[in-house]
Chains A and B, each alone.
Chain A
């Protein structure tokens, strides 16, 4: 037997991938709102982690905060890593460039998937936010999971989140399913037929319809999005997940 990775290593790699995706998403949000004088507060962002514990998951000085203004997020990463990136060298080749990579969220791979607890907490935050900002663009909840809830059926909680309303519309719930099954990636499907297991199908049913504006953005990114597409992504490569997250969070005020 020569398994390349143990089950623990697989879990760690998946956790690393999810953490990277969330950190990149936060980076993209900050950059969209950044101007030379600083960061304009187009958003507030919260990250809830769930596993052994359920709660706010920012690290560093933002630890414990359920919702944080995007300017504060940008100015308070837990740490900044140096990473290298390939860029065109102007002569047809590629050159390595060192870039700063801010980290807010550290990978965590430990037991349990208390999805109901996590969604209950998300619902509380979304309700509170809409209560304070009744005319806001509806909050967007992006739920990233490996699939099977270990504390009950989350369906009705998902329904309740999608029914929270501002004057501008209903809250959006997107699900990103990172399964260990070797199945074809699926991005924004319009039917649960063909999804590989009951957990994927359940998460599909829990997902909001993709609003027309986001569907158009997704098409613009080259994704095949048809009528009735839902905000659900299954086992997509990290690049597709980031695209999905980006699309889900692009403010209409920014081009």
Chain B
């Protein structure tokens, strides 16, 4: 009986004794970054799984519970999570992740945004006043975000500051080496003309020098309509490839491809969106591999 009680007490106390930095990542890419920088010192929960649309997440019970115990929330920001992050912040009762607290980390605030509109109106579809939020698709911006995230982890958990600083340095040196390699491989992609499903590739286009010809969505966030896809046939003649993320419905892209003969490429978009894309390095390896296969 005593052994049983000891076991029960240990199992209740043990999680507390670990003192991991609890990270709540809004999307898979930030979960992967947190693990890469923090190693065994962080325990990460991710709100958006790789095949889920981050715009559509609801503040479901499991997320409220995870947010309640988070020391650090890592999100994209720029209103990508406007439908659910504020509700999670309020429902969690957790001071660490409120706006203005160091535990609320928004990636889009660490880097210069692209696609900031001059004016916004709902008739324009789902536009983001602070610029395009999908900042993780540019490895140069990831480096800047990683520096800031590592520093933030050290600020929140100063007792293990050296661990986070070392983790960040190791990540960055590996990352910069990979970045050089990728930029060599990606020379062939410069000027590649793409049609995208949704406007979430802006930062990748900027890094690789891709030229966007059209979007399958008539307006951002509005599902592709058959008439809009048909209207793209003429402009499609100028494109080399149609690109869509693993989490979207592939049928509109395939329909346009059948009509025009232009190849379709599914890209992982985030960590976990493809079998070989299980971390940030894999994400870009697979992305470049699939694009260069088509560009040839």
Question: Do A and B come from the same complex?
Answer: no
